[in-house]
Amino acid sequence: MDREAVLERAAGLPDEPGVYQFLAGDRVLYVGKAVSVRDRVRSYAEPRSERIARMVAEAERIEPAVTDTETQALLLEANLIKRHRPRYNVRLKDDKSYPLVQLTDHDAPRIEVTRDPEEGATVFGPFTDKGRVETVVKALREVYGVRGCSDHKYRNRDRPCLDYEVGLCTAPCTGEISGEDYLADVEAVERFLEGETGVLAGPLRREMEGAAQDQAYERAANLRDRLAAVESFHGEGGGAVAARESEGRTVDVLGVSLEGSGATVARLRAEDGKLVERDRYPLDAPESAGAADVLGAFITQYYAERELPAAVLCPEYPRASDDAEKAGDGAGEDIEAWLAGAGTDLRVPGAGREATLVDLATKNARRGHPTRDGTEALAGALGLDAAARVEGFDVSHAQGRAVVGSNVCFVGGEPAKEGYRRKKLAERNDDYANMRALVRWRAERAREGRDDRPDPDLLLVDGGEGQLGAARDALREVGWDVPVVALAKSEERVVTPDGVEDWPDDAPHLHLLQRVRDEAHRFARQYHETVRDEVSTPLDGVPGVGPETRRRLLGRFGSVAGVREASLEELRDVEGVGEQTAARIDDHL
């Protein structure tokens, strides 16, 4: 590549943290990381050394991969260098790995920071700041009492050790805590490590506030520093995948971007909990195809001739099409069953660190269209001064129960996660009233100065004329003068106060609204699943149905009504539901 070629390629790269690779054919020549991939690659137009000048001259193309943080970029860079051993990279001979956190596969699991996890352990990471990890692990032990001792120290004890006396362990070794209660504490630790920060931040904050009220200021200051480490902990993780086995476990994460008559699927691969590679695949797709159709076609065609990973994570469940039915034995009939038969777990994560990876894969899929954010075209089509900041709203519930609303924010055509908000709403099976309440909540906060976000250029509600009317009523009642439109998923037509807009299917401003609508829907569904799991249901009274089985049933059938309508055979297909439990569910409901 010459100077002009580098500058031309750099202009289309993302101005975000990430990793870039210089390639010649399929051979990786060089891997680098940057806070801004675009700016760093642009600097290669004027190489600073003879070695790098030779590399640039030899390269034929440049491939980027975006990450959420610079730390994630550092970890991905290290893993790519280890995997590809690029000729022009300087490689450490000791091949040092980053620290991980493991929960061992014991009857009473042990938590520890390690670089060499045990077989069968649940592993989280990797992480770059070992000191921060150790601070967080100590806080977890103080709150939940999970042991950190060696197996030799644990076995054959007749009294608790010093860790019990100082509050770092609940001493399962001598029966000071029951096995069931200990495993419940371990489960809470897992939830934190998977991304549920409040599991640890909440108790620490309450203890800090109590210490301050008791004028124990030194203790409060120590807790404040520990709380800061806990709250920043998940921002620095690079793997974002919890691996149940430490040897050979692979997870593929898929993201989808739809653009006119084409689509892009991004695939991130994690091995042993570490993000190691990223690929992007263009697909031809009918204009009527949605993300589920694209995922169905990609999964059956891509994996028909490749080894399947242990798990595949998707933004939504794939849907088989006529084309998909031709690829793979029976894959079109039931993709999930096909994958399960091959030992691959298909998951659509609603929250936690796996959901973060799905978001990252989706962001990478969208990198194929970096210059078409659609904001200027959207403003022109709607007669607005600007559409740089768009907020989306959606409501999710299960027949009026566990009703929640989402409020997402896009700036410059891309998600601005710091602007996301969510709210529990009154339980009622009325979509119009729910949307009115959600938009009114946002409008009142803005009018009263209780919302620290700037006013948006446009509001988008998920739905049709009814939802648009409800949103306009809320804005009028509060007196918040912000334009609002609606986008219904069935016909993909934009509903405005002046009528229905029939924009071309490949219009970039339509794609922008679709991305906002889909993200609002995803965020609402994620929160609904969290709230739904906290709400009691008729399933709670069924013998043999615990919280995990209830979660699987509701995830499979969508609601208690869906479970009620399921056949005995369909119930038995759910993991953890045998013949007797299925019969009890059927009788009970």
Strand partners, 406: 394, 422
Q: How confident is the model over 154-168, as pLDDT tens digits? A: 888 888 888 888 888
Strands of the sheet containing 27-34, edge to edge, are: 27-34, 18-24, 61-66
Give the burial string for 64-83 (b: 16+ CB within 10 Å, else e).
bbbbbebbbbbbbbbbbbee
Q: Do domains 250-366 and 375-532 have the same CATH topology?
A: yes
CA–CA separation, 279 and 64 (whole Å) = 10
Q: Domain 3-84 is of which CATH architecture? A: 3-Layer(aba) Sandwich (3.40)
- Among 101-110, 271-280, 356-365, 396-405, the range scoring the smallest mean pLDDT is 271-280
Strand 414-415 relative to strand 401-411, pairing: antiparallel
- Among 57-66, 71-80, 315-324, the range scoring the smallest mean pLDDT is 315-324
pLDDT at 331: 38
pLDDT at 247: 44
pLDDT at 241: 42
pLDDT tier for residue 475 given thresholds of 50, 70 and 90: very high
Q: Among all chains, which residue has been given the structure tokens 């609940």?
A: 170
* pLDDT of 379 strictly over 70: yes
pLDDT at 547: 72
Q: How confident is the model over 350-359, as pLDDT tens digits? A: 766 778 788 8
pLDDT at 466: 93
CA–CA separation, 454 and 396 (whole Å) = 25
Q: How confident is the model over 521-530, as pLDDT tens digits? A: 888 888 877 6
CA–CA separation, 534 and 228 (whole Å) = 27
What number does CATH give the domain 536-588?
A: 1.10.150.20
pLDDT at 473: 95
Q: How confident is the model over 3-37, as pLDDT tens digits? A: 899 998 898 888 888 889 999 988 889 988 888 88
pLDDT at 462: 92
pLDDT tier for residue 483 given thresholds of 50, 70 and 90: very high
- Average pLDDT in the 360-377 region? 69
Q: What is the chain's mean pLDDT, rounded?
A: 80
pLDDT tier for residue 399 given thresholds of 50, 70 and 90: confident
Question: Residue ranges of the domains in the chain?
Answer: 3-84, 100-233, 250-366, 375-532, 536-588
- CB-based contacts of 475: which residues, under 8 Å, 6+ apart? 439, 443, 459, 481, 482, 484
pLDDT at 70: 67
- Average pLDDT in the 93-100 region? 54
289 or 95, higher pLDDT? 289
- Average pLDDT in the 390-399 region? 89
* pLDDT of 93 strictly over 50: no
- Among 118-127, 255-264, 325-334, 547-556, the range scoring the smallest mean pLDDT is 325-334
pTM of the model: 0.38
Out of 180-184, 273-277, 479-483, 509-513, give the one with best mean pLDDT: 479-483
What number does CATH give the domain 250-366?
A: 3.30.420
- Average pLDDT in the 425-439 region? 92
pLDDT at 304: 65
- Among 252-261, 474-483, 503-512, 550-559, the range scoring the smallest mean pLDDT is 550-559
Tokens of 351: 């929250």
pLDDT at 534: 52
Sign of the C-alpha dihedral, residues 412, 417, 423, 424?
positive
What number does CATH give the domain 375-532?
A: 3.30.420.340
Q: How confident is the model over 293-338, as pLDDT tens digits? A: 888 878 877 886 677 888 999 998 887 654 433 334 433 446 787 7
pLDDT at 401: 79
Nearest to 460, CA basis, from 492, 429, 423, 433: 492
* pLDDT of 95 strictly over 50: no
- Average pLDDT in the 77-96 region? 65
Sign of the C-alpha dihedral, residues 187, 193, 195, 196?
positive
Q: What percent of the chain has pLDDT over 90?
A: 18
pLDDT at 242: 41
pLDDT at 110: 93
CA–CA separation, 239 and 242 (whole Å) = 8
Q: What percent of the chain has pLDDT over 70?
A: 83
